[in-house]
Chain A
Amino acid sequence: MSTETVEKKKSGEGEPLFSKKNRRLLSDPLNDNNPITVQVLGICSALAITVQLKPAVVMALSVVFVMGAGNVIISLLRNLIPSRVRIIVMLTVVASLVILVDQVLKAYMFDVSKQLSVFIGLIITNCIIMGRFEAFAMGNGTWKSFLDGIGNAAGYGVILILVSIFREFFGAGSLWGHKLIPDDWYMQNGGFYHDNGMMLLPPMALISVALIIWVQRAYNRKLIEEN
């Protein structure tokens, strides 16, 4: 990763827009360098809003937007920000973007916005965003930063959606609010099935993520930690 000033145009001339290196920026965070299961960033919101699929998807899209736009803005400003006050500048940029998302959600998807309650506001302090600003956007060109932002937000979104599918299906027998398990399978209707109410409770989110980590690391053994 070159830290020198690489403007969008220049990097476009030097290498194709989707060169191998640039594609890796997008694909790495999906598996080898996943923000949640490997970098351990952005766990807070990932666990709290995964009870149902719909809020999780909305949250993932919001983060993709904030992350992509924020990374572009920070990388455009990176030579102007004095390093002493960079944290406050970053927080201001994120906070403005999040206010935008919050107002749009309140206007067009009021019920989802109520469900997400404080967690939209907490995108501001989502560690992925600050982490990527600090680690990538401060030292790289605009196009690269944009790809990195989208890639990391997508890696976050994938885990979010997996966990919420798992929890909503086993916890409530539905997906996106639609019942998938037939009514007459249930105990109270003389069937054999019972929803696992435990899945809806907060601690099971942690355990679901732990299971995802287990599966991922069993296949991708270079991620295994010492202890």
Chain B
Amino acid sequence: MQELINIFAKAVFVENMIFAYFLGMCSYLAVSQTVKTAVGLGAAVIFVLGITVPINFLLENYVLQEGALAWLGPQFETVNLSFLSFIMFIAVIASMVQLVEMIIEKFAPALYGALGIFLPLIAVNCSILGGALFMQERAYSNITQASVFGLGSGVGWFLAIVAIAAIREKIRYSNVPAPMRGLGITFVITGLMGIAFMSFMGIKL
């Protein structure tokens, strides 16, 4: 249990998707104009990461890894399909996103309207594929750990986008130098927030 909490806290704070790896920056910068849409997109990312990381974990361990196909029979023990992992992961992610899109369209049309183009773009949100690839690289030992890692990364991303959206709503009232308005100042704020998040870096979990 303690191990799971560690993985979660590490994924949220120490290895935050945005502040430590800059994954999912495109939608982070584009959808952080208001807190409301930011919350919607953040929730969608938590959901998609929470589902796709465990599914990709199963795929990795029972299909792709060297020797993972051993359950089919002894002649498959030496098969190594890991070079296919990019294409398999992205296929899982794209189909899951399609599913989430249909669910949201059906049950929360207002949110669907607000998220607009960025819902299909979750498929190409780097943090989702990044979650799958980090899961592969760090070789979590069982599916619970993988799902906790996925959820934690999603929560970290959610926190980051909601925080920046709140700041951007307020910064409208400040006098920013003209060339820095919009994109520039958002970069600087994200950098400063990243420095703040680096205070978690030394923590060994």
Chain B residues with Cβ under 8 A from A124's Cβ? 86, 90, 124, 129
Q: Which of B95, B125, B130, B179 lies in contact with A118, CB distance below 8 A?
A: B130
CB proximity to B under 8 Å, residues A172-211? 201-207, 209-210
Q: Which of B30, B91, B194 lies in contact with A203, CB distance below 8 A?
A: B194
Chain A residues with Cβ under 8 A from B198's Cβ? 201-203
| Size of interface on A: residues with Cβ below 8 Å to B | 48
Q: Which of A95, A125, A206 lies in contact with B125, CB distance below 8 A?
A: A125
B72 at the A/B interface (Cβ < 8 Å)? no
Residue of A nearest to B27 (CB): A127
A77 at the A/B interface (Cβ < 8 Å)? no
Contacts A125-B128, A202-B19, A218-B179 known; A95 to B90 CB distance under 8 Å?
Answer: yes
A118 to B128, CA, bound (A): 12
- Verify A99–B87 contact, CB threshold 8 A: yes
- Which of B6-14, B58-66, B139-147, B183-191 contacts the other chain? B183-191
B180 at the A/B interface (Cβ < 8 Å)? yes
Residue of A nearest to B128 (CB): A125
- Verify B182–A225 contact, CB threshold 8 A: yes
Query: Chain A at the B interface: mostly helix, strand, loop or mixed?
Result: helix
Residue of A nearest to B127 (CB): A44
Chain B residues with Cβ under 8 A from A48's Cβ? 21-23
Chain B residues with Cβ under 8 A from A79's Cβ? none
- Verify B179–A43 contact, CB threshold 8 A: no
- Verify B124–A40 contact, CB threshold 8 A: no
Q: Which of A44, A215, A216, A217 lies in contact with B26, CB distance below 8 A?
A: A44
Digit string of B132-163 for contact with A (CB within 8 Å is 1, else 0)? 01100100000000000000000000000000
Q: Which of A41, A87, A118, A209 lies in contact with B187, CB distance below 8 A?
A: A209
Q: Which of A99, A125, A207, A214 lies in contact with B191, CB distance below 8 A?
A: A207
- Verify B126–A98 contact, CB threshold 8 A: no
Query: Chain B at the A interface: mostly helix, strand, loop or mixed?
Result: helix
B123 at the A/B interface (Cβ < 8 Å)? yes
B83 at the A/B interface (Cβ < 8 Å)? yes
Chain B residues with Cβ under 8 A from A207's Cβ? 187-188, 191
Contacts A43-B22, A44-B22 known; A92 to B126 CB distance under 8 Å?
Answer: no
- Verify A87–B123 contact, CB threshold 8 A: yes
Contacts A92-B87, A206-B194 known; A125 to B187 CB distance under 8 Å?
Answer: no
A37 to B24, CA, bound (A): 16
- Verify B183–A121 contact, CB threshold 8 A: no
Chain A residues with Cβ under 8 A from B24's Cβ? 44
Contacts A206-B194, A227-B181 known; A43 to B133 CB distance under 8 Å?
Answer: no
B167 at the A/B interface (Cβ < 8 Å)? no
Digit string of A7-48 for contact with B (CB within 8 Å is 1, else 0)? 000000000000000000000000000000100111111011
A226 to B183, CA, bound (A): 11
Q: Can you list 21 residue pairs at the A/B interface with Cβ under 8 Å?
A: A40-B29, A40-B30, A40-B183, A45-B126, A88-B94, A92-B91, A95-B86, A95-B90, A118-B130, A122-B23, A125-B123, A125-B125, A202-B19, A206-B187, A207-B191, A210-B180, A210-B185, A214-B177, A216-B179, A225-B183, A226-B182
